[in-house]
């Protein structure tokens, strides 16, 4: 397909990956802060 759509798909995939990893890193620390 067009390179614009492929670049947009790669960008969205990277953003989703970063969001998942950041949530996995931030949520346990937030739970530790709230429970302590």
Calpha distance 6→12 (Å, rounded): 10
For 20, which DSSP code?
H
Question: Nearest to residue 23, comparing CAs of 35, 11, 34, 15?
Answer: 15
Residue 15 has pLDDT above 80, yes or no: yes
Q: Give the whole-angstrom CA distance, residue 19 versus residue 34.
A: 21
Going from N- to C-terminal start, the domains of the chain cover 1-36
Distance CA 24, CA 9 (A): 23
Q: Please state the pTM of the whole predicted model.
A: 0.58
State whether residue 2 is helix, strand or coil.
coil
Answer yes or no: is pLDDT of 5 > 80. yes
pLDDT above 90 for 11: yes
């Amino acid at each position: 397909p067009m390179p614009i759509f492929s670049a947009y798909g790669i960008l969205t995939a990277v953003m989703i990956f970063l969001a998942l990893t950041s949530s996995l890193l931030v949520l346990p620390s937030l739970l530790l802060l709230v429970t302590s």
